[in-house]
Structure 1
Amino acid sequence: MKAVDHEMLVTHLDRLKLTAIRDQLDTLLDEAARSKMTLREALAFLVAREIARRDERRISMASKIAQFPFVRDLDGFDFEAQPSLDAGQIRELATCRWIAHGDMVLLLGPPGTGKTHLAVALGREAIRQSYSVQFVTAATLVAMLAKAHQDGQLDKQLTLLARPKLLIVDEIGYLPFEANAAHLFFQLVSRRYERGSLLITSNRSVGEWGSVFGDAVVATAILDRLLHHSSVITIRGDSYRLREKRRSGLLQKTGAALEPRPTAAQ
């Protein structure tokens, strides 16, 4: 058999854009030789490394495009600290079948109970499974829609927001919507209805959304579309942040209220 020139092999790999194999060629070939792989096994081994590198790059790029506020995964979520949460249901959502069907997910619960952690973790899992994702807070989303409406670019902005297979809207209910903002959000929900999935986190129950949106009629219309094909998950646990402060002695529980622990100076 004709001897294979190393430089020529690297050139061919570069031309085929097999950059992971190219960059680790000697190491990979040595490992294949040590493991006494057959030609078929060695080829599968090399291809698997190339695919892994491409997946890493794809996930990294897609995560930047999604604009997650931080990196979180389901393995880092403390399900034992939130006994009201069905871990099996969350693991089922991580399969992303609901995204394939264009369904909705609402994560409801008090501040600090891990809603955003779960939203980001599910969004990252969606990216791993090749779904496009965008993350945005409710306040930022409303500002985007209001500006687009003012500039006569609302339809263009709605089209852009309809493109990701999963749109995550975080923190609905922390600030009340103005009347016009509620109508703009309704248009977004309508645009994505049965076309793309929405994952929404909120500190308010759906029964309170009339006051959140400032218009019970608009809130009903929004919920009609969100709840048609949806999973509504309510977390009833304590805030992680307050729990840590309580453990450190910065807060003490008095009845149902949380009060700062008195200091020596007081």
Structure 2
Amino acid sequence: MVLQSERWLELRRFRALHEAGLSISQIARETGMGRRTVRKYLAQDAPPSPPQRRPRAGGRASVLSPFAHVIDAWLRAELLLKGTVIHERLVEQYGFTGNYQRVKLYLQEARPRIAAELGIGPDELAGLHRRFEVVPGAQAQVDWGDEGGILAHVGIAKVYSFHMVLSYSRDPFCCFTTSQDLSAFWECHRRAFAHFGGVPKSIVYDRTKTVVRRHVAPGQAVPLHPEAVAFAGHYDFDIDVLAAYRPTGKGRVERQVTIVRDHVLAGRGFASLADLDAAFHAWVPMRRARTHRTHGEVIGVRAARDHAALRPLPARPYVVAARHLRHVGKDCLVAYDANLYSVPARRVRHRQLVEVRATAATIAIHATIADQHGETLLASHPRAVGRGARVVDPGHWDGLPDGHTRSTTTGDTPPQRTRPAPGGGPLQALLNRAAAAQVTVDRRPLSVYDQIAGTAPFTTARSYPKDTTS
């Protein structure tokens, strides 16, 4: 086998020199071979085929052959599914006993084949960045991920993933929401702090509108959002805003977004946000059991030191509420975030201006002017998931016409009229209750007014002038 391989390599070299215009003597001097040897190799019509390895008995083909159809199905659903993820799922779901290298070698053949079947190919991107390290508990990084229509089949058009990673250990946290607004953003922070059991000393952010009030020129101080300042002050951490167009400044969390998609979401189906959160929490122990390739330690062991250095959680949580002004519709509904929420009909009017205070879990609607008891709260509802929902309390519509008095008839029986009640009917009853009904009115004949006015009494007889013509 070795001699055949060497012969094949020598022949390739001789032919290249000969085609370049060198003579046999020159080729012999260049390669250190004899002229007869060079002439013999050049005289062959076709080069010998390169040596082929024979697969060993009991090798990777036999180990993976029962699972080949499973791997191919996963690749057809997600062509870029990583080999580590495939090996992890084979071990967890199918009891695979082979090592990762077997899967990796199989993917070298299977991935191009599946890509050719689908007519697509992977797009590999690479970049460079400057690496840095921190001490335990010193820093965390935050980022959003757009998961698109992963729950579109259950009526949720858009899903976002919130990620926080402890920079020292790379210990991850992730949760899924349908909104990236102010209240949802800081509610995800509270969940992350509870997951880690403490608060890092600083958190790195992009220049997102939930953290930065407005964009400024390079080199100028970045004005922070008032709610971001209040939240950070309550939980005692520093806000570290990256410079514009510097995503590598939080490369740990950028990488974590991709890892979660590959290991938790890729090739799977979900029915709700709770299913997505449960899938992540089920994967966390496997992630913490792995040895990180950068710091060379088990993530869970390093995370224990990271958690111990975190600052303690405050006794009371800080709930951020986004505040917006809205108008009340004719149907006693208030629109917010593409959903409708009811308010009491007896306490509002059409086009009245109200304040919506939205948290990640509730929607509270307040009047802009307090009532006689000093209260402004009109209604409170659980926050709707998705868009186009109606959240209505039936009691809010009490007193509005509901159509129960409407009726129809075929005309066979004549309608029966009700006689007015004694005393003049409803109108007379209303007048009797009025204060004017209690006033005594004098009655006098009309002649009295004629005497007062000095006029003749009114008579029905009409007099005409006498005709004097004959």
TM-score (norm 2): 0.17
Which of these two proteins has the greater Rg computed from alpha carbons? 2
Q: With structure 1 as the length reference, what TM-score do the two structures score?
A: 0.26
**If each structure's helix is expressed as a fraction of its own residues, which one has the higher value?**
1
